[in-house]
């Protein structure tokens, strides 16, 4: 079957409508164009439950949906980072706004698992072995882009293509690293050590960065694109915080404080993770605003 999409023009589409009398086209003579583009027939072969429990399909599909959303958020954050690096503040706003909306979609996915009780989860949990969402390489990419960096967390991926990809990502600047450099280029007085540091090490909140954001926010004018950038970043951080909280609540709801499948202490590990803020100075600066 042909696995390509043939481009069309507005004129061709109008002519097709006229020939069809307004009805959809029903004959193609090859692979349906929608499937050539979306690959739905491939997507629908990827759900392979490990048990006979009908509820496991919900868990599996939602997990796969979240993986796709992680990829989408990563894509937008990389675009935003590249714009910020190039001093393109206005163009950076669109991918950040899209990322925040994608995170809303990601968060909504948790709602479809609210039916799951501990008894429901236990019907298939043992079959998952050591499999855990903690082992999501794409989620780790999102964390790295947001500035949450723990080098040891790429170790589970050794021996795979994901390991090399994550290693490279760990040593590239995060979106927040680039925002701090942008503040410096705009004349804000930041500590020199913030501008030439090992980006593989997680950034710690610094008062000079918070003070820079206070100065940015003091200008309420419509031409203050940095203020708009700050708000777009805050929205992303807020929605990501919602995801972390909903993850914690889902774990609490389905397994309480039991040990996690991946070797962690489950709920306690997630609670510690939530204590690491995204874009920390955007939050600490609010005390002085």
Question: How many alpha carbons lie under 13 Å from residue 41 in its C-beta half-sphere?
Answer: 9
List the structure tokens of 260. Answer: 């996690």
Question: Measured between alpha carbons, how far is 196 from 212 in angstroms, rounded to an integer?
Answer: 18
Tracing tokens 């007085």 back to the chain, one arrives at: 189
List the structure tokens of 103. Answer: 């995170």
**C-beta atoms surrounding 221 within 10 Å:** 6
Structural contact between residues 148 and 202, judged by C-beta atoms closer than 8 angstroms:
yes
34 phi and psi angles, rounded to 5 deg: -60, -45
Q: Is 125 annotated as a binding residue?
A: yes
**C-beta atoms surrounding 67 within 10 Å:** 15
List the structure tokens of 123. Answer: 């019907």
The CA–CA distances, whole Å, from 77 to 7, 192, 236, 247 equal 29, 26, 10, 21
Question: Measured between alpha carbons, how far is 153 from 140 in angstroms, rounded to an integer?
Answer: 8
Burial of 97 (0-12, 13-18, 19+ CB in 10 A): middle
Q: How many helices (H) and strands (E) does the chain have?
A: 13, 0
State the binding site for substrate.
Answer: 125
Bind-site residues for heme: 247
Residue positions forming the annotated binding site? 125, 247
């Amino acid at each position: 079957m042909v696995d390509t999409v043939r481009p069309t023009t507005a004129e061709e589409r109008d002519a097709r409508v006229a020939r069809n009398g307004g009805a959809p086209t029903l004959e193609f003579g090859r692979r349906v164009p929608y499937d050539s583009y979306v690959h739905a027939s491939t997507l629908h072969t990827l759900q392979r439950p490990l048990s006979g429990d009908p509820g496991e399909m919900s868990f599996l599909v939602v997990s796969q949906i979240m993986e796709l959303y992680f990829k989408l958020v990563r894509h937008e954050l990389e675009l935003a980072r590249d714009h910020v690096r190039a001093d393109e503040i206005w163009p950076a706003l669109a991918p950040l706004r899209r990322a925040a909306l994608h995170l809303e979609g990601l968060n909504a996915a948790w709602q479809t698992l609210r039916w799951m009780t501990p008894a429901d989860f236990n019907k298939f949990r043992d079959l998952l072995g050591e499999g855990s969402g903690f082992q999501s390489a794409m989620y780790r990419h999102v964390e790295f882009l947001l500035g949450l960096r723990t080098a040891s967390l790429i170790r589970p991926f050794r021996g795979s293509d994901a390991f090399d990809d994550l290693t490279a990502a760990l040593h590239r600047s995060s979106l927040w690293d680039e925002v701090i450099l942008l503040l410096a280029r705009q004349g804000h007085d930041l500590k020199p050590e913030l501008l030439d540091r090992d980006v593989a090490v997680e950034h710690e909140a610094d008062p000079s960065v918070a003070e820079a954001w206070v100065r940015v926010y003091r200008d309420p004018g419509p031409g203050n694109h940095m203020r708009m950038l700050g708000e777009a970043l805050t929205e992303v951080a807020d929605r990501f915080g919602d995801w972390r909280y909903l993850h914690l609540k889902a774990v609490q709801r389905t397994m309480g404080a039991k040990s996690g499948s991946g070797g962690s202490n489950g709920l306690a590990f997630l609670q510690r993770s939530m204590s690491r803020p995204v874009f920390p100075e955007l939050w600490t600066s609010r005390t002085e605003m």
